[in-house]
Structure 1
Amino acid sequence: MGNWTPPACWYEPVSAQEFQKQVEGDYDDIVNDPQQPNYAKSATGQFRDIYKDGKYKNYNLDKADEGNFWVAVQDPNRLDDPDAFTCSDLPFWVENGDTPEVKNAVTPEVLAELAYNRITLPDTKVTLAPEDITKVNLPTWAWLDKAKFKEVSVTAALNVAGLNIQATTTAKPVSLKLEPGTSDAETYPASGECTLNADDSIGEPYAEGKADETPPCGIKYLRSSGNGTYKLRATVTWEITWTGTGGAGGKLPNGTFGNTQDITVQEIQSVNR
């Protein structure tokens, strides 16, 4: 949505015991695999030495109640994204209560950003009256199905190594922009942007008896589309907010989703007697 994407990688804590199990398991798998090249075995051994007998002694197991190792994690859905490999710091130790001094250390806000990437929004097709085929100079009403276009929320949670945080990200539709696909058209309102009504709907469904009224949200085509169609583009702007553990919360960049619909515009036929 929009020009902003949530992080493709982040850092999160693992206990000393879990970190030892992971490192030792990887070491055994690689060193004992005859298919692994020597450089891979050497690199794995060097990595293991840092935490077993080097900078850290025996994986800090004697301090297991005092802190955790923080490790880089990649979004499994974005492994083809180069940004997924920017969390390149080696696992590091953080005392309980301290804040890791690295970008994208997991916090309620980072979880909110990750939840943002999991939000599934409805297709942006708007409801029209007349639908698909309209007449020259006939106002076409446009609106969003209120039952379909409503708030959507996703919650992300992390409960590992004594860290228990969560965040809920909510997307709310706030405006609909109509682009007729031709300069021979007028939009209602003139800006082409239909904003949220008091009841959180956008636009107004057409009802019998309103044929002579001006729609609060819609289009009037001034020229026939001939043997073809016009490409009506409808773009919905979603306002993104989040709340998280400890009363945290705020806004994330708005998201936009657009779609095109084929509109046939015909001349009004008259009969001379």
Structure 2
Amino acid sequence: MVAGSNMIGGLAGMPQTFWAAQAPVVAVDPAQLAQEAVDKMTLRGPAIGITPKPGGKGVVGMPVWMWTGKGAETYGPNSASASAGGITVTATAKVSKIVWKMGDGATVTCTSAGTPYKVAYGKKDSPDCGHRYTQPSTAQPSGKYHVTATSTWSIDWEVTGGGETGELTELRDSDVDVTVAEVQVLN
């Protein structure tokens, strides 16, 4: 119903009522719906797994293995939908890479979740996500290396039933401190 004034068939300045045959069409932006779908998801930073374990001690020159747990909230895939104006958009997120800042100036980029370390691996390097410290962490103000892992969540979205598609990116961080010592050899 729309109110207005009209000189024909009524008094000047008097409100008149008109009926519209259809409700006004509201344009829905699929990209905005995609962001609403992403906002419904819980996307976290990596569930950090690392050797040496926090609270333990690593040794200079020994392999450091890094990995993340592979849950929907920490690695994906994770999906959600949002609807408005007769349109539904489904977004699916998964981690495409994890960038590890090792606290010693080194950065390691891993394109997989990494491999959890097992004692049976001994002194082998990680097959997909590893590092070796060359200096002890004693020179750090805290006496530990502060390790930050940043997940890049790649999100593909599409309008249900085909049609428009797109991509979004979200970043999430986690961190942990590790102690790395030098081995002292006595003669």
TM-score range, shorter chain: 0.7 to 0.9
Matched, 1:139 2:91: no
| SS of aligned partner of 2:120 | coil
Give deviations 1:219-242, integer Å, cap 9, x for gaps: 211111116111111111111111
Q: Do residues 174 (structure 1) and 96 (structure 2) align? A: yes
User: Conserved in 2, the CA contact under 8 Å of 1:237 and 1:254?
Assistant: yes
CA RMSD of aligned residues (A): 2.5
Maintained 8 Å contact 1:180/1:230: yes
Partner of 1:149: 75
User: How many Å apart are 1:209 and its aligned residue?
Assistant: 2.4
User: Equivalences for 1:197-236 in 2 at 5 Å?
Assistant: 202-215=113-126, 216-226=128-138, 228-236=143-151
Name which of 93, 104, 110 aligns with 1:194: 110
Which residue type is aligned with residue 258 of structure 1?
D
Superposed displacement of residue 248, structure 1: 2.5
Q: 1:217: Cα distance to partner?
A: 0.4
1:41 counterpart residue number: none
Distance change in 2, residues 1:140/1:212 (3 Å):
same
Gap change, CA 1:54 and 1:153, over 3 Å in 2: farther
Unmatched tracts of structure 2, length 5 or more? 7-14
Say how many residue pairs are matched. 171
The higher-RCO structure (CA 8 Å, 6+ apart) is: 2
Cα deviation, 1:223-265, whole Å, max 9, x if unaligned, reads 1111611111111111111122341342323222123221111
Identical amino acids, percent of aligned pairs: 30
The structure in which a higher percent of residues are strand is 2
More helix by share: 1
Shift of 1:127: 0.6
Please say if 1:129 is aligned against 2:51.
yes
Question: Please, what TM-score do these two structures have when normalized by structure 2?
Answer: 0.78
The CA distance in 1 between the partners of 2:16 and 2:102, in whole Å, is 68
For residues 207 and 269 of structure 1, the distance between their equivalents in structure 2, rounded to whole angstroms, comes to 25
Cross-structure match for 1:245: 160
Three-state SS of the structure 2 residue aligned to 1:52 is: strand
| 1:251-270 correspondence to structure 2 within 5 Å | 251-270=166-185
Partner Cα separation in structure 2 for residue 54 and residue 229 of structure 1: 76
